[in-house]
Amino acid sequence: MRRIAIIGAGSIVFCKTLMLDIMATKALEETEFVLMAPSTNKTSQVQSFMNKVIQENGLKSRVSITTDRREALTGADYVICSFQVGGVSAFEMDYKIPLKYGVDQCIGDTLGPGGIFRALRSIPVILDVAKDMEELCPDALLLNYVNPMAMICWALGETNIKFVGLCHGVQTTLDLISGYTEVPKTEIDYVSAGINHMGWFLKLEHEGQDLYPLLREKFEQPEFYVNEKVRGEVFRHFGYFMTESTGHLSEYVPWFRKNDKALDLYCDEPSFGGESGAYFNWCNYVADKYSQTNILDDEPTALPQRSVEYCAYILEALETGKPFKFNGNVRNDGMIANLPQECCAEGPIFADRNGLNRVLVGDLPAQCMALNLTNINVQRLAVLAAKTGDPEYVVHACALDPLTSAVLSLKEIREMVTEMLEAEQQWLPQFAGRKPRATPTIPIPQDVQRAEVPIDPALAIFSRFGELAK
């Protein structure tokens, strides 16, 4: 039997979805699943449900649970990571503390203060997983679903393990494009590349015809534009359609959440997912609703159609040689020529019996590359912060974050980071006893006299112009 270790299997719904996808794949029927989480409260529910599925569908799979990560990883052929360090409790601080300072986040798991602090909590854990894999299953492939995807995979790119980061932004965006253009999703030829949650559709064609003119026409119609105001605006001004929805994308750029006017105009519509704290509120609701009940009690045990998640299709391709194209997150290393070599890039990959084969995309359009770099700068500093435990890197990452820097001064950013590090210290052992430097306030009296210092020649010229004007 192939052995699949799922680290973070307490994510009940997502774990169930991936396991059902795999069990519904003929070539993967004989699979041993080892579910690992810090406790067995939720994994025991998954195990019980999956055993019913196995029995009622006559499958050959097996499911076991453990709280020992090394036990789960020993001899694994594949490793799936889907954990969330700190759970909803940490997520609440990621959202509410920045909001107190004026940084309004919708999702908070990819960039911004929320994404940065999620990375600080998660990167040390994923690196421990990688270290154990190097020892216990060095040939295994890690399929990562942990967010923030780009930062997690940037850190993994500095290890020796094989990995790929998986997200469903491309698939779900294709559903939207299909609906707008009235072209079946399966008939759209596309190339998407960039970074996770900010990938660009560089090619959109149907039977050799460019779909972009039609898509642009639709976005100039109010009834279509109103569904995706933020993505529509970026599309209109940057020329290419992006992989993320209003709620996500509004956080990665400085224009849409910086004040009440921008929020009211672009994001304050609950039905379209751009409202403040949308993801935290949903996670909190789900956690409360199912804290005392088993969410799987009423789930049907018949094998469903496979979901849109890439995982089962990739494993099928690796095991059988049946090629499968998808968009994955890997260390760039030239896949996208005008992004940094060491960053995490998202682009087209073909899986087959030979492994994961990247497609070389070449250069992104200059404006798309530039917007990606505003996020990559933050990712780089957040990874450094997570690995070194240096709180100054956290300050610098937040200071370069497009949304945070559009709202706060440098002093306010430092104060916010200090408060967040203090509040989340139980999940941030690498920062123990360390906090950002304090910056004293310098009072400036009304009658202060300038110090006698050399004047910048450029300022001297402007001063001379002032005298002449008089």
Angstrom distance (rounded) from CA 105 to CA 276: 6
Q: Which two tokens stand for residue 61?
A: 């799979």
Distance (Å, rounded) from C-alpha 58 to C-alpha 61? Answer: 9
Whether 168 is a known active-site residue: answer yes
Q: Are the CB atoms for 470 and 463 separated by under 8 Å?
A: no
Residue 199 is encoded by which pair of tokens?
A: 């990938």
Residue ranges of the annotated binding site are: 147, 167, 197
User: What is the Cα–Cα distance from 261 to 259, expressed in whole angstroms?
Assistant: 5
How far is residue 71's CA from residue 65's CA, in Å, rounded to a whole number? 10
User: From the annotation, which residues make up the binding site for substrate?
Assistant: 147
Torsion of CA 286, 292, 294, 295, to 10 degrees: -20
CB 210 within 8 A of CB 354: no
Q: Which residue among 78, 252, 266, 279 is the active-site one?
A: 252
> For 362, which DSSP code?
B
User: Dihedrals φ, ψ of 352, to 5°?
Assistant: -155, -165
Q: Is the peptide bond before 340 cis (omega within 30 degrees of 0)?
A: no
Contact between 173 and 227 (Cβ < 8 Å): no
> What φ, ψ does residue 254 adopt, rounded to 5°?
-90, 0
Question: Would you say 12 and 48 are in contact if contact means Cβ atoms under 8 Å apart?
Answer: no
Smallest CA-to-CA distance from 154 within 349, 343, 328 is with: 343
Residue type at position 217: E
Which residues fall in the annotated binding site for Mn(2+)?
167, 197
CA distance to 11, 37, 77, 133, per residue, from 22 (Å) = 17, 20, 14, 22
Annotated catalytic residues are: 168, 252
